[in-house]
Chain A
Amino acid sequence: MAEYFRARNLPVPPELERTWLTDWRRWLAIAGTVAVLYVGLRITDIDTSRANPGYVGQILGQLLTPKWDVLFPQAATICEPPVVPCPPGNFWEAGLGLIIITIFMAVVATALALVVAVPLSFLGARNVMTGNPLATAIYAGVRVMFTVVRSIDILIVCIVGVVLFSIGNAAGVFAIAFHNIGVMGKLYSEAIEGIDAGPIEAITATGANRFQVIWTAVLPQIVNPFISLTIYRLDTNVRLAPVIGLVGAGGIGVLLFQYMNLLRYHEAGAIIFLIVLTVVVMDFLSAQVRKRLA
């Protein structure tokens, strides 16, 4: 095939001149992947011998036959925690109240993160921070800060939050807000970097100062992207908020893990159903709103 090109004195496409060397690299990549998977399977020692399908089926059956009582306050009965947990006494201790609290934990945390991330995102946008070495240094510093904050997993921040604020909602709100400063800061900065630079140049040329340029040329271009990104993060945070109960950082997750640890899967099933419903609704609403903003 390569002869066709050589005969006509045309440049030969590189893929026609594949040599032993390139093939050798391809084989090496395949062999390497297989080797990594094999070694991985050996050293992780995946042991399926103790699996108990019957028990799994039994629990699944319990999860799928939820006991809805747990979502509503119950009349006081004899209880003996932790062996026999007390049923929720008032609305805010029951599942329905707790999911509302959990949603608002996410809302408050998103708002807190927004207040910190929006001003910082301008300092972390390359097209805003130009002109002098100090501005460039601030840009680099803010971006590194976003990356570091973002790379600490939310459950780890929760553990720190529980130490700081003790067990409860405060720890969870702190953790979600902290983590989101990193995520939202990065997303906002990238939205600012993606705007049309023309108006910035034009407004600068009118003799406006840096702040006026941002106010007049940058802000109108980023309002919709910012709202869209904030709603997306709110959606994600509502999804995260039930999970952080695992480490005692508040919300409906605390209740869920309580019932799980007590092996009361009928109640756990009702709570999981409620969480899934909430997340699906949030996901749908968020997608609808963002579609209209685009």
Chain B
Amino acid sequence: MPTVLSIEHLTKVYPKGTRALDDVSLEISRGEFVVLIGLSGSGKSTLLRCLNGLVEPSGGRVVFDGQDVTAARGAELRRLRRRMGMIFQQFNLVKRASVFQNVLAGRLGYRSTWRTIVGRPDREDIELAFTNLQRVGILAKAYARADALSGGQQQRVGIARALMQRPDLMLADEPVASLDPATSHSVMKYLEEINHTDGITVICSLHFLSLARRYGTRVIALKDGKVAFDGKPQAIDERRFKEIYGEDAVEVEIGVGKTQAELLSEAEALVTAPDFAADR
């Protein structure tokens, strides 16, 4: 598979002196489902935000599909950004706006400033918005205010918004950290689906190793801003785990007391429920 993203000696030192990333070099191939793991503060969020230029690195380069993201400015950077969707732990929807308006906002990178003010989206954009709302199973809630939705539903609106960009790459910053186990699986299943069906490369940071093993085709662990592990999810054994998370760490499963199969079938029920009323 061809390389879609190459990260070369990426370093980020924040003004207060925190070294969030320390000489990180990675090659990501098209179609991979990369899971980023590591302790809080290990640099996962910073790495994701350097990829689409939300954070400017102190050194090194990010090359996306042959174009240097770190050197891009203004309109050039915005054109690169619109090919990279992003979803967030706190969903980051405009809460007072409708679900539909939130999803349409994913199209802004393709729209002129003037059109934004006039507020008349293209017919094409509207159709795409409904297609994506249907995909994430939230069509019935299209005209509800975003803050009237549950966490899982809001995250799916976030995914629909990102899909509006027709991205080549999906960045997900702890997308399920604010959700309960079954809802977490339902959101992860949507990410898996866009990865399989659309061939969108996914880079997703997660807290639970069980989720990483279930969904990732590759796991990258960060520790103190450095790459501590890079390989197949199955290769993470007890020793590797302690290297990444520290000697005192104990692996916890998401959804204690239930097997993964049970959680998955619960998630399946959530995804296929006709009105998503059961979704928390």
Contact = CB atoms under 8 A, between A and B. Distances in A.
Contact of B108 (A198, A207, A220): A207
Interface of B: 52, 54, 75, 78-86, 88, 90-97, 105-111, 113, 116-117, 158, 161-162, 164-165, 171
Given A205-B81, A206-B82, A207-B79, A198 B109 contact: no
Interface centre among B84, B85, B97 (most CB of A within 10 A): B97
A199 B97 CA distance: 11
A198 B82 contact: no
B108 A212 contact: yes
B165 A206 contact: yes
Interface residues of A, number: 20
Given A207-B81, A215-B117, 13 more contacts: A198-B88, A199-B95, A201-B54, A202-B158, A203-B94, A203-B105, A205-B171, A206-B86, A208-B116, A211-B116, A212-B113, A220-B96, A221-B96
Contacts of B78: 207-209
B96 A204 contact: no
Contacts of A205: 52, 54, 81, 84-86, 171
Given A212-B113, A212-B116, A215-B116, A202 B93 contact: yes
Contact of A198 (B83, B90, B107, B116): B90
A220 B75 CA distance: 25
A217 interface: yes
Interface of A is mostly: helix
B132 to A, nearest CB: 13
A221 B94 contact: yes
B92 A202 contact: yes
Q: Is the interface of B mostly helix, strand, loop or mixed?
A: mixed
Contacts of A201: 54, 88, 92
B85 to A, nearest CB: 8
A220 B145 CA distance: 12
A201 B53 CA distance: 11
A220 B94 contact: yes
Contacts of A203: 94, 105, 108
B8 to A, nearest CB: 22
A228 to B, nearest CB: 14
Q: Which among A196, A202, A221 has the greatest number of chain B C-beta atoms within 10 A?
A: A202
Nearest to B87: A202
A151 interface: no
Given A212-B113, A217-B94, A220-B96, A202 B88 contact: yes
A206 B94 contact: no
6 contacts: A204-B54, A205-B54, A207-B81, A212-B113, A216-B108, A217-B105
B81 A206 contact: yes
Contacts of B165: 206-207
Contacts of B92: 198-199, 201-202
A206 B88 contact: no
A209 B113 contact: yes
B233 to A, nearest CB: 27
A216 B88 contact: no
Contacts of A206: 81-82, 85-86, 105-109, 161-162, 164-165
Contacts of A196: 95
What 8 A-B pairs come out closest when comparing CB atoms? Answer: A207-B109, A207-B82, A198-B92, A208-B108, A202-B92, A207-B81, A205-B86, A207-B78
B94 A208 contact: no
